[in-house]
Amino acid sequence: MGMTLRILLLGCILHLASAQLRVGFYSSSCPQAESIVQQVVQKKFSSDASITAALLRMHFHDCFVRGCDASILIDSTKSKSSEKDAGPNLTVRGYELIDEAKKNLEAACPSTVSCADIITLATRNAVALAGGPAYNVSTGRRDGQVSDSSEVNLPGPTLSVSDAAQFFTAKGLTLNDMIVLLGAHTVGVAHCGFFQDRLSNFQGTGKPDPTMDPTLAARLLKSCGTQSRPLNKDPTAFLDQNTSFIVDKEFYNQIRSKKGILQIDQQLALDRSSAPLVSRLAANDNLFRQSFANAMIKMGSVEVLVGNAGEIRKNCRVFNKPSSRAL
């Protein structure tokens, strides 16, 4: 099957799935579902504003493996390593927030609200709390019944724009969707190990990456050093050095000023295929907010399970026992 045909088929599947999702899916079966999730996110955000970045990352890492099916939430067992324990997911966090929301939802409406919908709703709420756009989220996702660490293959920070874009088109998303979704780096941090080579020995040259602002490179070098460290001892840097906890267009201004931390972020502002949209987003807050909301809605519809597919987990960390999967 050719790449063009595969993309067309993915687009059709995406359209059919999203057609079965709808805003207010739980309005009859669990009217308070969205407010229950909102309360949990509000409580967490009030003490830890970094939860927005954590949920954005969780949502992205979930949707880009088996679709938005909450497979990232499954705990590994002695006999099976789940997505959660794959290398790219070792620094994903926010699981306790999802657990708390699920516990409250099960008390109010047993076996009704999926873990996949909780991730989507919680991320939407956290984005709005961080100053980002408020947008309606369609619900009705079902939870997946497979989680395998070997299936986790996510775009890395050193990819070119064209190579990274292939991951997005494979999920029915466009280059423009990718540029906007990477705007989620307006919040959050990256470990030094993901960009350390850019600071002093870029591609073995013995010099910093010429596409990074020299003052920024020197400052990051002081905190990161040149030695690699285990992930749990590796320092971090804000991906947006200016408004680090606010979902806004500042990320695009930063990368246009050669202050992108990750190589892929910086390349967005330099590659001829992506630079024009980066410039427009940097200059227009309304464009950013609308584009970001639309891209998040589109990503949240990737390869979702609906209808009788999948299950509604009672515990987001484990699959239901076979006797309860018919719910």
**Total number of domains in the chain:** 2
Does the pLDDT of residue 327 top 90, yes or no? Answer: no
pLDDT at 12 (0 to 100): 46
Average pLDDT over residues 249-273: 97
* CATH code of the domain covering residue 270: 1.10.420.10
Q: Annotated binding residue at 65?
A: yes
Q: Annotated binding residue at 83?
A: yes
Q: Annotated binding residue at 248?
A: yes
Domain range for 13: 7-154+300-319
- Do 263 and 172 lie in one domain? The reply is yes
Q: Which residues are catalytic?
A: 61
- Do 139 and 173 lie in one domain? The reply is no
Q: Annotated binding residue at 185?
A: yes
Q: What is the pLDDT of residues 183-207, one digit of tens each?
A: 999 999 999 999 999 998 898 898 9
- Do 175 and 262 lie in one domain? The reply is yes
- Do 145 and 16 lie in one domain? The reply is yes
pLDDT at 322 (0 to 100): 80
pLDDT at 64 (0 to 100): 96
Does the pLDDT of residue 17 top 60, yes or no? Answer: no
pLDDT at 323 (0 to 100): 63
Does the pLDDT of residue 160 top 60, yes or no? Answer: yes
Average pLDDT, the chain: 92
- Do 106 and 210 lie in one domain? The reply is no
pLDDT at 251 (0 to 100): 98
What does the H/E/C string look like for the chain? Answer: CCHHHHHHHHHHHHHHHHHHCEECCCCCCCCCHHHHHHHHHHHHHHHCCCHHHHHHHHHHHHHHHHCCCCHHHCCCCCCCCCHHHCHHHCCCCCHHHHHHHHHHHHHHCCCCCCHHHHHHHHHHHHHHHCCCCCCCCEECCEECCCCCHHHCCCCCCCCCHHHHHHHHHCCCCCHHHHHHHHHHHHCCEEEHHHCCHHHHCHHHCCCCCCCCCHHHHHHHHHHHCCCCCCHHHCCEEECCCCCCCCCCCHHHHHHHCCCCCCHHHHHHCCCCCCHHHHHHHHHCHHHHHHHHHHHHHHHCCCCCECCCCCECCCCCCCCCCHHHCCC
| pTM to 2 decimal places | 0.91
pLDDT at 2 (0 to 100): 54
Q: Annotated binding residue at 62?
A: yes
User: Does residue 326 belong to any structural domain of this protein?
Assistant: no
Q: What percent of the chain has pLDDT over 90?
A: 87
- Do 196 and 129 lie in one domain? The reply is no
